[in-house]
């Protein structure tokens, strides 16, 4: 079982984990999501072996863009060591630098470090973006307790452990209103069907704890095809939601007013929840993100097949500029980014390591903030 994977649903997931073998994304119930079989050039991750004692591998070198991100992280680590700042963050950064240098896929150790260092990474973004209000919540109970506080009008975001004792996380974008029930938009980076039992439990707990008044929507993004990147995808989706806050404000208002993210009277298939009896019974309104989410949510997609699926629903999305570098101004389309961050591992076909370099960039940013503040 993968590091980030909970026990898969027996109802919808008949294969072993996601991202490495064919999984629930290829079921009829979630046929809109791209499946491994639909990808002619790129494929899902192979499972990465444990590192050798020497930390070396015989795999090919990473791409030029990945190497560039590695060099920037290495320089930041050198500056941090000289200044003797944040040994824990430096240790985290060195772990990531070693993985990138050796072309090694993130594993359970990486995921644990993502969780442990989340406050250090999120703190810088919360300072930079007032109103982001991003935090990590270690259990569904902690998340539901936070939702119970309706003492003020506020927007906030959280990367939340989906179930006690599990590794997998989702991200939630929340609006609370003083004296009124909150609205919650959950985004699942991988396949919600892989975790349908845990999500059903979450909804049951929310009904018991908060009652039926809070309004929920679930968006399946499908960008993650790995075992250990859920926390990093969650942080990126939280930032993307904040950057697109006017759109999310509209969706929350729609949820609050009439229980769906769609505008009133909008009967287009774009915002139709998945017609699944089990999800309906669990009161999970699942929307398919590839039909309407902005390109920013697919910037770090592992799979070309997923981006092709999004492009089938959103014409021209592959040409959207994804560059956000403040260091070097340049344009880079979603399609170009997939190619630029492609890596080859264990002789398999390429996939994008963009999410891995995003992790490196966030560590570098946090270190430099500590150094120069």
Catalytic residues: 168, 188, 230
CB 42 within 8 A of CB 351: yes
Task: Of 370, 357, 372, 371, give the one whose Cα is nearest residue 71.
Answer: 357
Tell me the C-alpha distance between 71 and 367, whole Å: 14
Overall residue count recorded for the chain in this entry: 373
Tell me the C-alpha distance between 116 and 356, whole Å: 17
CB 140 within 8 A of CB 163: yes
Tell me the C-alpha distance between 62 and 79, whole Å: 24
Structure tokens at 27: 């079921």
Structure tokens at 202: 């979450």
Task: Of 346, 272, 357, give the one whose Cα is nearest residue 99.
Answer: 357
Structure tokens at 5: 């994977």
CA 98 to chain centre: 22
- Collapsing DSSP to helix, strand or coil, 284 comes out as coil
Q: Give residue 55's region: left, alpha or beta (phi > 0; psi -120 to 50).
A: left
CB 352 within 8 A of CB 105: no
Dihedral sign for Cα 249, 255, 258, 260, please: positive
Got the DSSP string for 300-315?
T-S-HHHHHHHHHHST
DSSP state of 333: B
CB 120 within 8 A of CB 86: yes
| R_g of the chain, CA atoms, integer Å | 20
């Amino acid at each position: 079982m993968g590091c980030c994977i909970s026990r898969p649903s027996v109802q919808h997931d008949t294969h072993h984990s996601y991202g490495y073998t064919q999984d629930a994304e290829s079921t009829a119930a979630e046929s809109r999501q791209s499946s491994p079989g639909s990808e002619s050039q790129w494929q899902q991750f192979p499972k990465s072996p444990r590192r050798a004692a020497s930390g070396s591998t015989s795999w090919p070198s990473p791409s030029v863009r990945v190497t560039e991100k590695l060099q920037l992280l290495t320089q930041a680590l050198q500056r941090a060591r000289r200044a003797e700042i944040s040994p824990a963050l430096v240790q985290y950064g060195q772990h990531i630098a070693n993985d990138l240098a050796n072309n090694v896929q993130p594993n359970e150790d990486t995921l644990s470090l993502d969780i442990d260092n989340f406050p250090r990474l999120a703190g810088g973004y919360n300072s930079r973006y007032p109103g982001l209000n991003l935090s990590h919540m270690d259990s569904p109970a902690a998340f539901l307790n936070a939702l119970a506080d309706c003492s003020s009008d506020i927007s906030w975001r959280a990367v939340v452990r989906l179930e006690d004792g599990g590794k997998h996380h989702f991200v939630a974008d929340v609006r609370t209103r003083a004296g009124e029930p909150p609205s919650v938009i959950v985004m699942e980076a991988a396949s919600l069907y892989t975790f349908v039992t845990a999500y059903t439990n979450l909804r049951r707990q929310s009904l018991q704890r908060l009652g039926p008044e809070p309004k929920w929507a679930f968006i399946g993004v499908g960008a993650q095809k790995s075992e250990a990147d859920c926390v990093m995808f969650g942080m990126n989706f939280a930032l993307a939601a904040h950057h697109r806050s006017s759109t999310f404000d509209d969706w929350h208002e729609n949820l609050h007013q009439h229980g769906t993210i769609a505008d009133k009277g909008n009967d287009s298939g774009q915002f139709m929840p998945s017609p699944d009896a089990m999800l309906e019974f669990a009161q999970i309104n699942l929307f398919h993100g590839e039909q309407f989410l902005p390109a920013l949510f697919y910037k770090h997609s592992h799979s070309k097949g997923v981006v092709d699926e999004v492009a089938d629903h959103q014409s021209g999305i592959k040409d959207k500029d994804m560059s956000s570098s403040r260091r070097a101004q340049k344009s880079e389309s979603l399609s170009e980014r997939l190619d630029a961050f492609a890596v080859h591992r264990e002789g398999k076909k390429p996939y994008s390591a963009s999410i891995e370099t995003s992790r490196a960039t966030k560590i570098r940013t946090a270190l430099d903030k500590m150094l120069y503040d």
